[in-house]
Structure 1
Amino acid sequence: MDTALWVVGRGTGVAAVVLLTLTVLLGIVTRGGRPLPGLPRFGVQLVHRDVALASTVFVVVHVVTLLLDTEAELRLLDALVPFAGAYRWFWLGLGTLSVDLLVVLVVTGMLRRVIGPRVFRAVHWAAYAMWPIAMAHAIGTGTDGTSAWFLVIAGVCAAAVLGAVAWRCTAGVTAFRPTPREVLR
C-alpha cells in the first residue's frame, strides 16, 4: 500500500506543479485584459478558476497521500507549520509555506464578495510568491526533483511564466479594469 501512496504522492506533486503554472499563466492573461484565441476574457477567467481548483485538489491529494505513507514519515505538523520538519526541513518548509499561501488564496477567493476587490487583489498577489516557492519545493524535496525529465518540465514551466510576465510588462498590454458587475462574479 505504501508504494501506491508514494507513487500517487509523487504524481500528484508533479501534476500540481504543472497545474499551478497554468493557473498563474491564466491569471496573468486574464489580468492583461486580452482574450485567448477562441476564448473570450470571461472564458479565460472561468478556465483560470477551474484550473486553480484542480491544482488545489492535486495539492491536497499530494499532501494527504504523503501523510498516510509511512515511509514518507511526514507528520501533520510538517504539513501545517513551515520549516518544522526533520527531513529536508528547508525544502519541505517551502512546500508547507506554499500550501499555506494556497489556503489563503482559496479562502480569499471564496470570500471575494465579502472582502471586496481591493483586498482580494492585494492578497491574490501572493500567487506570484507561491508559485516559485512551490517550484523550489518540488526541485529540492521531490524524489524526481533533480531528474532530467522533471527539470525539463520545471524549465518549461519557468520559461512560460517568465514569458507571460514579460508579455504582461510590455507597454502594449494594459491592465484590465473590471466593471463593478464583473468584480462581483
Structure 2
Amino acid sequence: MIWYIARGAGVMALVLLTVSLTLGIATRQGKPLAGLPRFAIATVHRNASLIGLGLVLVHVLTLLFDSYADLNPIDLLVPFVGSYQPFWLGLGTLAFDLLLIVLVTSLNRARLGLRTWRAIHWAAYAIWPIALAHALGTGTDAAQVWMGVLAVACTTTVATAVTWRFVT
C-alpha cells in the first residue's frame, strides 16, 4: 500500500510541477494566456506549485516507511548517498532540495528583492528535468507505456512553453 501511495504521489507531483513550470513560463511573458488575465494564471501557477510540493512531500515521506526502498532521513536531504539506486535517487533528492530552496525564497520574496528572488527562482528550470530523469530512472513504472506517454506529454508541454517564450 505504501509503495502505491509513493508512486502515485510522485507521478502526480511530476504532472503538477509540469503545469507549474509551464504556467510560470507563460506568466513571465506578461501576455494573457487563452484570454485569462495574468493574475489568474499566476494563481493557478502558485497553487499547482504548492500542491505539487505537497505531493512531493507525500512521495518522500511514504518512501521512508517502505521496506523495499530502504531509505533513511539522510537520503532525503543529501543527494547520491542512498543505497537504493544512488544516482537516480540522488537526482530526486537534488530536485527536492532545489524545490525547497525555491519555496523558501518564494516565501521570503519581499525580503530578498525581486532580482535575487528571480535569480534563485530560475532553479525551477533545473528542477523539472532532474525530477523527470529521477522518475524515469528509478520509477518502477518507467517501462510502462502509460508512463512513457505521460513523460512525452510533460516534455512536449514544457518544450512548447519554452519555445513559445523565446519565439514571442
- What TM-score does the superposition give when structure 1 sets the normalisation length? 0.89
Residue 11 (1) aligns with residue 8 (2): yes
- The one-letter code matched in structure 2 to 1:107 is V
Alignment of 1:106-185 (within 5 A): 106-170=103-167, 173=168
Which residue of structure 2 lines up, in the alignment, with residue 66 of structure 1? 63
Any gaps of 5 or more consecutive residues in structure 2? none
Any gaps of 5 or more consecutive residues in structure 1? 174-185
How far apart are 1:34 and its partner, in Å? Answer: 1.5
CA distance in 1, matches of 2:43, 2:116: 20
CA distance in 2, matches of 1:144, 1:19: 18
Which residue of structure 2 lines up, in the alignment, with residue 29 of structure 1? 26
The sequence identity of aligned pairs, in percent, is 53
Q: Is the 8 A contact 2:10 2:59 kept in 1?
A: yes
Query: Larger Cα Rg: Structure 1 or Structure 2?
Result: 1
CA distance in 1, matches of 2:82, 2:70: 10
How far apart are 1:68 and its partner, in Å? Answer: 1.5
Deviates more, 1:7-16 or 1:36-45: 36-45
CA distance in 2, matches of 1:109, 1:145: 32
CA distance in 2, matches of 1:163, 1:48: 17
Larger helix proportion, structure 1 or 2? 2
RMSD of equivalent CA atoms: 0.8
Cα deviation, 1:62-115, whole Å, max 9, x if unaligned, reads 000011222221111111100001111100000000000000000001000110
Residue 100 (1) aligns with residue 111 (2): no
SS in 1 for 2:32: coil
- What TM-score does the superposition give when structure 2 sets the normalisation length? 0.98
Which residue of structure 2 lines up, in the alignment, with residue 77 of structure 1? 74
CA distance in 1, matches of 2:152, 2:144: 12
How far apart are 1:145 and its partner, in Å? Answer: 1.6
SS in 1 for 2:68: coil
CA distance in 2, matches of 1:123, 1:46: 20
Residue 57 (1) aligns with residue 54 (2): yes
How far apart are 1:35 and its partner, in Å? Answer: 1.6
CA distance in 1, matches of 2:79, 2:145: 28
CA distance in 2, matches of 1:39, 1:64: 36
Cα deviation, 1:2-49, whole Å, max 9, x if unaligned, reads xx1110000000000100100000000000111222420011111110
Which residue of structure 2 lines up, in the alignment, with residue 179 of structure 1? none
How far apart are 1:52 and its partner, in Å? Answer: 0.3
- The one-letter code matched in structure 2 to 1:33 is G
